[in-house]
Structure 1
Amino acid sequence: MKDKIKEAVFHIAFEWKKKGKTSIRVKSIDETIDDLIRSDKSLVRFGDAEIWIIEGRTTKFQNYDPQLAVRLKEIISYQTDDILVGIPDIFENLDPYTKKSRKFWEEHVFFSRKTYEKYCNRDKVYENAFFSRPYYIYEDKMQSAEWFKKIKEIWKGKDVVIVEGEGTHSGVGNDLLDTANAIERIICPGLNAYFAYGKIKEKCLEFDKGKLFLFALGNTAKLLVCDLVAEGYRAIDIGNLDMEYEWYLQKAESKVPVPKHSVTGREENLKAGYTAYLEQIRAEITL
């Protein structure tokens, strides 16, 4: 009963606030993907986990750190045109999302709207952070195929460096990254990657500036994207895009486990047949 009451409160609060015009503007997924295809700009994405760090909380994959929070506050304020900043499209209309997703985001907005309003730049139009979540949260999943097709154009013909957590395996066992010309990888800690931030950045800077960096590394990805851009690189924070693609391929209706995420270490990867993945690894960073 208490849960039902809370859900009703979150929903009523969202609908009431929706009647007023929000000053936080977010592009559509198509606009964000097109921006990445048609330009050489970099992008970072903010979701609930980044907001929680800003609010002083620990997340599932990263312990709170005050310096991390400071950097995230700076980045979400979107002070430069060199780096596109994406946030969730959750302030005006949640109708396109599943019932479960609507409940989640209504609760998130209820508790964190003031954080967005405090740190977001009212003079900017934000990119859509859900470009990396183009399947699971949507009620109508018919559009997902076209979105994934377009996303693959971002790295078509490019030499790509993937910086990801151990076990992530972006593009392994599927064709998400098949349009890339070549793939190299830096494997990082799956938990508390921020505490290895310096070592990860140092390794990234050893690569040629003509390569496109793709980050799947949680909160830490935001800082690394910005620091690489300052050094003349292009970098995109793709988050959980690969997991979304796996669910899309399976036509999953729930968040089913992705078996490759539990594969860690050389022997287990060899046993799984991920030899090409192992050959792409250029560095493995530990805490």
Structure 2
Amino acid sequence: MNLQYGSFFKYPRKAFKHLLSSIYPLIIKLYPLPKIKSIPETIDKILADQCSICRFGDGELLYVSEKRSLPFQKQDTRLRNYFIELLNSDHKHILIGLPVGFYSLSNLKSDSKTTWRAIISWTYPGVRKYLNPSKQYYNASMTRLYMDYQDTSHSSAWFKKVRSIWNKRDILLIEGEKSRLGVGNDLFNNANSIKRALGPAQNAFDQFDNLLNFASQQDKNNLVLLAMGPTAKPLCYELALQGFQAIDIGNLDVEYEWFLRGATEKIKIPGKYTSEAKEGRIVDDVQDEKYKSQIIARFINEN
């Protein structure tokens, strides 16, 4: 599966994906999937109990099971050990999210369904030893509410529900330097205020201690929203242990942008880091004075 990245192996990779997809029924019969709540149930739990959530995608699971570097995060033993600790953690108000493909394949687009069948067939046999079969997991795809679904009639209501998490709250947003969540749309218009701390777009774990030390000194009444790839998981976890409510919101803003545009494929969003879209990691600068005024700290890797 080291052929996952790069255009040279596009067609062999596609054939391999369909092969893996074909053995999915056997894999889940041999290895029953973990207990995961639905997306609405996950959001409702966060709202009802002011929980924090650390969300795992397929990349983080590969990072654990195969010690693989990702395109935007090199392998780091400390980060990987954090992932293993989180997956087995047992804190009442810190939810651990696994992707929607591990919950249900219903209503996913055909290609997304095939992709998740392949991911589970490849990843789950190796990663299941790091999971607790008796643990209740939640849905990491609470931030992916539009693009991968055949029927998107639920998307508007789901976005409205997830936005209610920060209704009239003061937000501390910890994000990659080119993520620019909420800039140019109304995602956070119902929040009371927004402050931003910027970290690196790639290899953000290099700045983990600096980001954690900074955030730890902020008012605990702030709702901490994190969008920093793999590094968001341990940051969210450590801040939640300190008494913050911390939500790893990942791709929510990009999904919202696609929803507002009625996009039918993953397109580049101008001025924002769009890692899953073609040329989406090439990001232009933006001239937005309101956004700039919200930035209170920067922790950027030196080139």
For residue 277 of structure 1, what is the amino acid of its counterpart?
Answer: Y
For residue 54 of structure 2, what is the amino acid of its counterpart?
Answer: V
2:299 equivalent in structure 1: 285
- The 2-side partners of 1:159 and 1:2 are apart by 48
Query: Which deviates further from its counterpart, 1-10 or 69-78?
Result: 1-10
TM norm structure 2: 0.88
Q: Aligned-pair distance for 1:162?
A: 0.4
- The 2-side partners of 1:119 and 1:21 are apart by 13
Residues 1:22 and 1:134: Cα distance change in structure 2 (over 3 Å): same
Q: Aligned-pair distance for 1:18?
A: 4.2
Determine whether 1:28 maps to 2:38. Answer: yes
13, 16, 22: which one aligns with 2:26:
16
Counterpart contact for 2:18–2:118, Cα < 8 Å: no
- The 1-side partners of 2:31 and 2:97 are apart by 20
Q: What per-residue deviation string (whole Å, max 9, x for no partner) do you get for residues 201-248 of structure 1?
A: 111122111100000011111111111122221100001100000000
1:269 equivalent in structure 2: 286
Q: Aligned-pair distance for 1:57?
A: 0.3
1:201 equivalent in structure 2: 212
Structure 2 gaps of 5+ residues are: 1-10, 274-279
Counterpart contact for 2:50–2:93, Cα < 8 Å: no
1:240 equivalent in structure 2: 251
Structure 1 vs Structure 2 CA RMSD: 2.1
1:218 equivalent in structure 2: 229
- The 2-side partners of 1:225 and 1:91 are apart by 22
Determine whether 1:37 maps to 2:54. Answer: no
Residues 1:181 and 1:16: Cα distance change in structure 2 (over 3 Å): same
Q: What per-residue deviation string (whole Å, max 9, x for no partner) do you get for residues 163-198 of structure 1?
A: 000111111111111111110000111000001111
Determine whether 1:50 maps to 2:60. Answer: yes
Residues 1:38 and 1:97: Cα distance change in structure 2 (over 3 Å): same
2:4 equivalent in structure 1: none
Q: What per-residue deviation string (whole Å, max 9, x for no partner) do you get for residues 99-140 of structure 1?
A: 121122122111111233111111222111111111111111
- Mapping for residues 22-171 of structure 1, pairs under 5 Å: 22-54=32-64, 55-91=66-102, 93-171=104-182
Percent of matched pairs sharing the same residue: 34
For residue 244 of structure 1, what is the amino acid of its counterpart?
Answer: E
Structure 1 gaps of 5+ residues are: none
Counterpart contact for 2:224–2:245, Cα < 8 Å: yes
Residues 1:92 and 1:238: Cα distance change in structure 2 (over 3 Å): closer
Counterpart contact for 2:21–2:115, Cα < 8 Å: no
- The 2-side partners of 1:218 and 1:35 are apart by 23
SS of equivalent residue, structure 2 residue 23: helix
- The 2-side partners of 1:2 and 1:169 are apart by 36
2:8 equivalent in structure 1: none
For residue 35 of structure 2, what is the amino acid of its counterpart?
Answer: R
For residue 154 of structure 1, what is the amino acid of its counterpart?
Answer: I
Query: Which deviates further from its counterpart, 188-197 or 80-89?
Result: 80-89
Query: Which deviates further from its counterpart, 53-62 or 116-125?
Result: 116-125
Counterpart contact for 1:18–1:92, Cα < 8 Å: no
Counterpart contact for 1:51–1:115, Cα < 8 Å: no
Q: Aligned-pair distance for 1:5?
A: 4.9
Q: Aligned-pair distance for 1:91?
A: 3.5
Query: Which deviates further from its counterpart, 85-94 or 97-106?
Result: 85-94
